[in-house]
Amino acid sequence: MRKISVVDYDPTWPVTFEHLRSNIWPTISDIATTIEHIGSTSVVGLSAKPIIDMTIVVPNISQMPTLIDRLYTINYTHQGDQGVPGREAFKRQESTPAHHLYACEKNNLGFRNHLAIRDYMKQHPEAVQAYGDLKKQLAAQFPSDIDAYVDGKTDFLLNILTKAGFTEKELQEIQSLNSIPPKRLDLKFLYHFSCASSDVLEVKIQDLKEGTPVGKLFHWLHYDRTTKTFQKLTFKSMGSEEGKNHRVFEQGELHFDTSQANLQLETDTISEEFTLDVNDVQAVPNELISQVQYFLQRLETL
């Protein structure tokens, strides 16, 4: 696991931000309002992890699909909301300076949170010193535990947001996002099927429910790319044809040979045929993995 590094303020950080912003802005200027430099690197004198945080602001969430497509043309890959509703994340090119790129509407709670903290820090130098000292202390205490590092900053930041006028409900929501999440589920992706509008994943939680008879129940997640929502499906096995790669469920069938699998899936809301290269069964898109984790944590287990 990468070590957490908090360093003294670097005056080149705003220069790096402006360089990154100027490379992105021409591609999205007709559909976005601004690109904001947020996070600790945006505050002069504040110690920080040396990673630039940037947020693209769009006037309406309906612009997001177009934004995602535009950013892809300049090598930013969409990674979903990563468990933060209304905020989309993007993976950068490895050759660019270290930075995180997000996109959201102006009124998104997480974005308002970042702006409020940034603007408060700029007006209160004593808070800059105190927050920088706290981050260095936490980085030394939890050098390889990013969840504990983030959790340790929460009370300090909530105090600032209280002064900034955030409501109790908003503070509770922000606290829940910053708190240590449940332990990541140890997942095994058995199959990944896809078509133009959807993904279907067969998922197993390893070392869980060992007493469940093999082949009786199969758990699937159906992901709708348009609505960015999951539906959990549980299929009961009705057997298989001996000597043939053919599984029959109460709803749908799975056929596969040495090169390709085909899934005919029928439920009350889904009627699709998905295909898969069985030599690539573990190639679940990276942007889906964190969303699968988040969805299953909310369900607790399959």
The whole model's pTM is what?
Answer: 0.63
Domain check: are 18 and 161 in the same one? yes
Give the other-Cβ count within 10 Å of 274's Cβ. 20
Domain check: are 232 and 173 in the same one? no
Domain check: are 21 and 166 in the same one? yes
Q: Does residue 116 lie in a domain region? A: yes
Give the pLDDT mean for 139-151.
87
CATH number, domain at 118?
A: 3.30.460.10
CA–CA dist 274, 29 (Å, integer):
37
Three-state secondary structure call for residue 298: helix
Q: Does residue 64 lie in a domain region? A: yes
Residue among 128, 202, 121, 116 at smallest CA distance from 167: 116
CATH number, domain at 245?
A: 2.40.128
In this structure, which amino acid lies at residue 221? L
CA distance to 83, 158, 174, 294, per residue, from 170 (Å): 16, 10, 6, 21
Give CA 110 to chain center in angstroms. Answer: 14
Q: Which residue has the tokens 């279907």?
A: 200
Q: Which residue has the tokens 């535990």?
A: 145
Neighbouring-strand partners of residue 193: 200
Domain check: are 101 and 163 in the same one? yes
Give the pLDDT mean for 95-118.
95
Domain check: are 97 and 155 in the same one? yes
Number of folded domains in the chain?
2
User: CB-based burial of residue 264 (10 Å sphere; 0-12 exposed, 13-18 middle, 19+ buried)?
Assistant: middle
Tell me the residue range of the domain where 74 lies. 13-178
Could you say which DSSP state residue 65 is in?
Answer: H
Domain check: are 228 and 282 in the same one? yes
Task: Name the band, by pLDDT with cuts 50, 70 and 90, for residue 136.
Answer: very high
Q: Does residue 136 lie in a domain region? A: yes
Q: Which of these three, 178, 208, 240, is where a domain ends?
A: 178
Instruction: Supply the mean pLDDT for the chain.
Output: 81
